[in-house]
Structure 1
Amino acid sequence: MSQIQQGMALLIAAFHKYSGKEGDKSTLTKGELKDLLNAELGVIFGKCEDKAALDKIFKDLDSNADGAVDFQEYVTLVACITMLCNDSFKKSK
């Protein structure tokens, strides 16, 4: 498998590791999103204990306002974070 295919498989696996713990297996609830952010992106986000910040992240991600973060919304988050990390990496060179 190529590195990009491995990355895609890891993104999918991470989503499904947290989705469905509180209900629908195809979406993330606010609690599941918090667990994912803390466990998988804690180094970038810090521990996500600020309820107002978590509410804002969740609201911004939930583009269709259905009260859950689906896979497409999750991938959008990961893509945006990846772009920010890339910009930061380029500046530090």
Structure 2
Amino acid sequence: MPSELERAMESFIQVFHRYSSTEGSSGTLSRRELKTLMETELSTFLKSQKDPGAVDRMMRDLDTNGDGEVNFEEFVALVVGLSVACEQCYQLAKLGKK
């Protein structure tokens, strides 16, 4: 039976491929696929962004190889960055409760 972390990793991989397989290469996210993924899976984060160009800016930042698409490795950088920011907020909230 998989551990909680193993299930989380599997879910992360499945989410990426659910959106990357809708157009073009099934191993990458186009700008449209990334936007749809973020609107669906990261809607709370997107709502907190006041800049309507946030997805375009993220696409440019994530696309480290400059091919106009986001592969799984590049996508991992987004999830890691957001996870670090969320963990920092968690720590601040935890300190505020003391």
Q: TM-score, normalised by structure 1?
A: 0.92
- Partners in 1 of 2:10 and 2:25 — Cα distance? 20
Asked whether the 8 Å contact 1:38–1:47 carries over to 2, the reply is no
The equivalent residue for 2:20 is: 19
Report the secondary structure of 1:46's partner residue. Answer: helix
The equivalent residue for 1:5 is: 6
Work out which of the two has the higher radius of gyration on C-alpha atoms and give 1 or 2. 2
Gaps in structure 2 of 5+ consecutive residues: none
Kindly provide the CA deviation profile for residues 9-68 of structure 1, in whole angstroms up to 9, marking residues without a partner as x: 011000011002121000000000000001001012228882x22211100000111100
Identity %: 36
- Say if 2:66 is the partner of 1:55: no
Q: Give every structure 1 segment of 4 or more consecutive aligned residues whose post-TM-superposition deviation is greater than 4 Å.
A: none
- Partners in 1 of 2:87 and 2:73 — Cα distance? 21
Gaps in structure 1 of 5+ consecutive residues: none
Q: TM-score, normalised by structure 2?
A: 0.88
The equivalent residue for 2:66 is: 65
Instruction: Count residues in correspondence.
Output: 92
Asked whether the 8 Å contact 1:19–1:25 carries over to 2, the reply is yes
